[in-house]
Amino acid sequence: MSLKKFPIWLFNRYYGRLILVFVLNTLTAIISLFAFVMIEPFIKLLFRGNLDGLSPISSFVVSLLSKIFSFDSLKGSFIVLIGGAILLFFFKNVFHYLSQSTMAYIKSHLTYTFRQKMYNKVLGLPLCFFNKEKRGDFISRAVSDAQEIEYTILTAVYQFLTDPITLFCYLFFLFYIDYQLTLWSLLLFPIAFLLIGVLSHSLRKDSKTAKQRLGKLTSFVEESMIGYKVVSMFTQHKYLYDRYDKLNHQFHDKQRTIYRKSYLASPLSEFLGVAVVMVVLVIGGTLVLSQRSSLSAELFITYIAIFSQIINPIKNISSSFAEYKRGQAALGRIYNFLIVEEEIDENENITVKPKFEESLSFEKVSFAYSDAPDFLVLRDISFNIKKGQTIAFVGESGSGKTTISNLIMRFFDPILGFVKLDNQDCRNFGKSDYRSLFALVSQEVVLFHDTFRNNITLGQKVSDEELVRATQSAGIYDFIMSFSEGFNHYIGEMGIDISGGQRQKISIARAILRNVPIFILDEATSAMDTDSERFMQSSIGNLLKDRTKIVISHRLSTIAEADKIYVLQNGEIVEYGTHDELLSKQGYYYKLLTIQE
């Protein structure tokens, strides 16, 4: 799907409402035209005292009114014409309001849909995407760019559904009155479109640059807030302020240029439109006064009044092109985000739901991240985890332990080899169904600005008894109850007002509530003190006695009871066995343990 076709895709579900907008705008334009037609009979009555010699269109309108109202007296005729004009303008504005109301729904709902699609896309993106892209840039796209589309492209679409209709109706009537004068008058309008076209192209380039700068600015603000503690410790406030000032100034300069160019489109087109009206007045007035035209003075005044009304539609159309070009930069950024391919393919025809009954295994698995495809993080990894076993992976930082856990949970797929569940390739299962077999307790605990209850349950429907039991097992219950609101106490953003150990206990309570067959403990107790760690190991051991546990840890003392330990070095398994077996070999595991002790 190309970007040129993308705006059409936007409106697939709104065709019915868009047709309604078109119909309402057509009625508005026709009724408005009839209202202006009333000028000719009004002037004839005012200056000649009769309605003789009216143009065919004016005669048609008067004949319609004469079927309802009487034109017998001069005073009564004035009242009928004025009342008819008022009535026509009333219905014109009613239809115009209905048109705007219908379009308002489309604009607001489409902006809402954009944000929903973007957020849904985020939830399905691979982990490596967030290592390469800035979160602030995504926030800018989801909030600022989506709003920009509402203000620019959708407003332009409404103008395209409104002003061309009005312009067509008015021009049709002007050609009907005097096509030669109308042709001469319209010769200057292409100049306006040419100038606005040049302006629009420049505006689109500037808007794209401005959006990129806004994304950098938003990312920098987010990073500053997250790293405020470090900044304060190193007293680098001025350094950050100067960097922010530079980014803000760059965005300010570009935004100011955009405003200037955007504001220039409307007055430029209006000036050229007024110039054309003046030309029409000169040419048409000369023809009427010299009696070289079939136009009567009354009809020429009507002609000028209607001709003056095409200035706004032309001005709006030219301005809409400028706004559309400006909005295309925002549209392009959102579109490029929405078409990001997920690195993990999902087979939509999968119907089999996974069940963990026997084993989970790696068969000659090799893996490299997409941003460094030539560097293998894992090389020819093979192992087998039987149901109910506790398996540990140890090694220095960067040896590939966490990558193994990510492959097990299918956050990535291997480039070579297979990850199998009960001897079936895990790619044969739906991602959501497959991941429902796992619970993860990580050293990087993510907490939301929400209550303890919602942070622990994460949308699961659990009873109070289950919640209490899980938090007691995780050793966090007494801490939660120390707050007056208990489980309903709101945690600060990212859990910044809670210690690292308490955050990990909340993560453990989450995993306990999940009640799944496989638990992955990735440095699950790294932020705890020694006593808390021992309590947690004992508690987890009792709770998950019959569950399969995959433990990743730097502290080798915590995995001594594992059924099997795999030792990793530079992405390869260099040793495996029980704690005692590995010690007796006095190899790499023995070396790591000796260093730690």
* Tens-digit pLDDT profile for residues 305-350: 888 787 778 777 776 776 777 677 777 777 777 766 665 556 665 6
Average pLDDT estimate for 181-204: 66
Q: Strand, coil or helix: what is 390?
A: strand
Average pLDDT estimate for 391-408: 87
What is the per-residue pLDDT for 366? 92
Strand partners, 548: 518
- Summarised one tens digit per residue, pLDDT across range 475-501 is 888 888 988 888 888 887 666 677 777
**560-566 long-range contacts, Cβ below 8 Å, gap at least 24?**
561/390, 562/390, 562/391, 562/392, 563/389, 563/390, 563/391, 564/389, 564/391, 564/392, 565/391, 565/392, 565/393, 565/394, 565/589, 566/383, 566/391, 566/392, 566/393, 566/394
Q: pLDDT-derived band of residue 230, with 50, 70 and 90 as boundaries? A: low
pLDDT over threshold 60, residue 272? yes
Q: pLDDT-derived band of residue 382, with 50, 70 and 90 as boundaries? A: very high
Please report, rounded to a whole number, the percentage of residues in the chain having pLDDT higher than 90. 7
pLDDT over threshold 80, residue 147? no
Q: pLDDT-derived band of residue 199, with 50, 70 and 90 as boundaries? A: low
What sign does the dihedral 429-430-435-437 (CA atoms) show? negative
pTM: predicted TM-score of the whole model, two decimal places: 0.59
What is the per-residue pLDDT for 152? 74
Average pLDDT estimate for 428-445: 82
Query: Alpha-carbon distance 299 to 284, whole Å?
Result: 11
Query: Alpha-carbon distance 536 to 555, whole Å?
Result: 14
> Structure tokens of 374?
């030539």
Q: Where are the domains of the chain?
A: 6-338, 359-596
Domain 359-596 bears CATH identifier 3.40.50.300: yes
- Which has the higher per-residue pLDDT, 29 or 288? 29
- Summarised one tens digit per residue, pLDDT across range 53-73 is 777 777 777 777 776 666 666
pLDDT over threshold 50, residue 2? no
Average pLDDT estimate for 451-456: 86
Q: Are 436 and 516 in contact (CB under 8 A)?
A: yes
Rounded to 10 degrees, what is the CA torsion of 576, 580, 581, 585?
100
Average pLDDT estimate for 225-242: 60
Question: Of the spans 256-260, 371-375, 559-563, which averages the highest pLDDT?
Answer: 559-563
Beta-carbon contacts of residue 71 (< 8 Å; ≥ 6 apart) = 51, 62, 65, 77, 80
Query: Residue holding tokens 């008015």?
Result: 170
Average pLDDT estimate for 195-219: 65
6-338 and 359-596 have identical folds: no
Beta-carbon contacts of residue 576 (< 8 Å; ≥ 6 apart) = 383, 564, 565, 566, 567, 582
Query: Residue holding tokens 């208990």?
Result: 486
Please report, rounded to a whole number, the percentage of residues in the chain having pLDDT higher than 70. 72
- Which has the higher per-residue pLDDT, 312 or 510? 510
Query: Which of these ranges, 20-34, 163-177, 279-293, has the smallest mean pLDDT?
Result: 279-293
What is the per-residue pLDDT for 5? 46
Across the chain, what does the average pLDDT equal? 77
- Which has the higher per-residue pLDDT, 26 or 241? 26
pLDDT over threshold 70, residue 261? no
Residue 429 CB burial class (10 angstroms; 0-12, 13-18, ≥19)? buried
Topology adopted by domain 6-338: ABC transporter transmembrane region fold (1.20.1560)
Q: Are 196 and 321 in contact (CB under 8 A)?
A: yes
Beta-carbon contacts of residue 283 (< 8 Å; ≥ 6 apart) = 181, 184, 185
Average pLDDT estimate for 117-144: 67
